Structure 1
Amino acid sequence: MQVTFDIIDDAGQQPLAVDFSELVVAGWAGRDQAVIEHHIEELAAIGVPRPSATPLFYRIAVNQLTQAERVQVVGAQTSGEVEAFVFNAGGESYVSVASDHTDRELEAHSVALSKQACVKPLARQAWRLADVADYWDELVIRSWIDEGGRTVAYQEGPLASLRSPADLIATYTGGGARLSDGTGMTCGTVAVQGGIRPASAFTMELFDPRRGRAIRHAYAIDVLPVVA
């Protein structure tokens, strides 16, 4: 699955085509166990069973990656989650922003299947991970949703609240320092404001306060009927 990014750095931008062969969603990736428990309780409120361990790594088909501005889902009970997205290409590591869009109704039956059921929207820009690694904890992820024609703040939090990419990668690979070329990983999310719920549009952002820059992507959600 080939995806093209604009790699942004202090010198400008250049295109990078990445052939993804592996996609991983890191779940329950908070550093603070109390925060993890809060997210577990959020999901329990909509019927999702507790995880067997934290963190967990869900493998997703790479053809679920999309940079489209409009996506289609089956049924009305789906929602997005903003996450930092790290990946490797040409021996170098990069970071962008993605949405772990999930089928909440199916999630009560199987978290793994619920994540596979929805595409994973991904921004078109990325930064070199080395450019932000020294102050990773200062980066902020945010999201907004459209409710009844109004844009509503949905998530916001620093990456300091989540496990670092190095920690997640080492746990996933069994001690490795980086992902293999063609592998991408979402790195966990932060709590929502007002409860997990569907929306007609989702906007996500990764903000770098030191450089005053952001990677942002928005997508609209078309709901397809559930046919029995």
Structure 2
Amino acid sequence: MLDFRKTRRTGEEDVRVTPRALVLGGLTGTPDSVKRHLEELEAIGVRRPNRAPVFFQLTANLATRADTIQVIGPHTSGEVEPVLLALPDGIWLGVGSDHTDRSAETIDIPLSKQLCQKPIGAGLWPLEEVADHWDRLVVRSFIEEGGRRVVYQEDSLAEMLHPHILLARLAEAVAPLPQNGLFMCGTPPALGGIRSSARFEVELVDPVLDRRLSHAYWTEMLENVPF
């Protein structure tokens, strides 16, 4: 079960959710954003998908509220993503990280996604409160590099398809997002190329309603122990 805090302009409410589905959206941006993201993936040896957007269905228990995740090997990294959660009272918006095994990604993209947990922040906003100014929202991520906290990704959601369009395309390509289903909406390109960091932070900023959602987590690399 995952604990969230639903924040409306009229108040707050805590909710506990057992995810029924976890779907990742890829290449969900504008043509220019998709082109830049494909170029950075090709730079690390990832083959170009033959269509866009793409959708990956993963096991729902990869979604986590943890502040530390375990990874295998040094070649993993996070990606800031808006996250949609379908609840009985509507679609809610949060922020999370599609943490990915970059070594495996050069072999099989769905496998690379399945190998890592997906940290998600506690805060949720009603999608209906931001749908009319989606293009004004901003996503950012931060990594630690050279002992400093640096911006790793930053873009407005004007560079990403509107969630109503994404959900409609998901329903056409796979199935409608079920109740208690999570959908990660895609990510902007990294600034300076894809690279690893032991700490990763994500945030979603709404400058219109002057609020912010955020989450931070550490990665713990498992040692390869011979048997």
What TM-score bracket applies, with the shorter chain setting the length? over 0.9
Q: Is the Cα–Cα contact under 8 Å of residues 141 and 154 in structure 2 kept in the other structure?
A: yes
Describe the SS at the equivalent of 1:34.
helix
Deviates more, 1:5-14 or 1:171-180: 171-180
Superposed counterparts of 1:1-228, under 5 Å: 2-31=1-30, 33-174=31-172, 179-226=177-224
TM-score, normalization by structure 2? 0.95
> What residue identity is the alignment partner of 2:104?
L
2-structure distance, mates of 1:188, 1:53: 15
User: Are 1:76 and 1:223, in contact at CA under 8 Å, matched by a contact in 2?
Assistant: yes
Identity of aligned residues (%): 40
Per-residue CA deviation, residues 120-177 of structure 1 (Å, 9 max, x unaligned), is 0000110011111111111110000012321011010011101111111111102999
User: Which ranges of structure 2 fall in alignment gaps of 5 or more residues?
Assistant: none
Q: Which amino acid aligns with 1:3?
A: L
Q: Structure 1's 148 and 175: CA in aligned 2 closer, same or farther, altered over 3 A?
A: closer
Change (3 A) 1:109 1:227: farther
How far, CA to CA, are the matches of 2:211 and 2:91 in structure 1? 19
Compared with structure 1, are the counterparts of its residues 21 and 88 closer, same or farther at alpha carbon in structure 2 (3 Å cutoff)? same
The alpha-carbon deviation at position 179 of structure 1 amounts to 2.8
CA 1:75/1:170 → structure 2, altered by over 3 Å: closer, same or farther? same
How many residues are treated as equivalent by the alignment?
Answer: 226
Measure, in 2, the Cα distance between the counterparts of 1:56 and 1:91: 27
What is the RMSD of the two structures over their aligned residues, measured on CA atoms? 1.7
* One-letter code aligned to 2:55: F
Question: What letter corresponds to residue 27 of structure 2 in structure 1?
Answer: W
Once the 2 structures are TM-superposed, how far is the Cα of residue 12 of structure 1 from its aligned partner?
Answer: 2.6
CA apart distance, 1:182: 1.4
Q: Deviations over 1:39-77 (max 9, x none)?
A: 111011100000121000001111101111111100000
Measured in 2, the distance between the counterparts of 1:178 and 1:21 equals 12
TM-score (ref. length: structure 1): 0.95
Question: Counterpart amino acid of 1:139?
Answer: L
Residue identity in the other structure for 1:222: E
Task: Provide closer, same or farther for how the CA distance between residues 227 and 44 of structure 1 changes in structure 2, counting only shifts above 3 A.
Answer: farther
Displaced runs of 4+ in structure 1, greater than 3 A?
A: 175-178
Give the residue type in structure 2 aligned to 1:83: E
Mapped to 2, the partners of 1:192 and 1:65 lie a distance apart of: 22
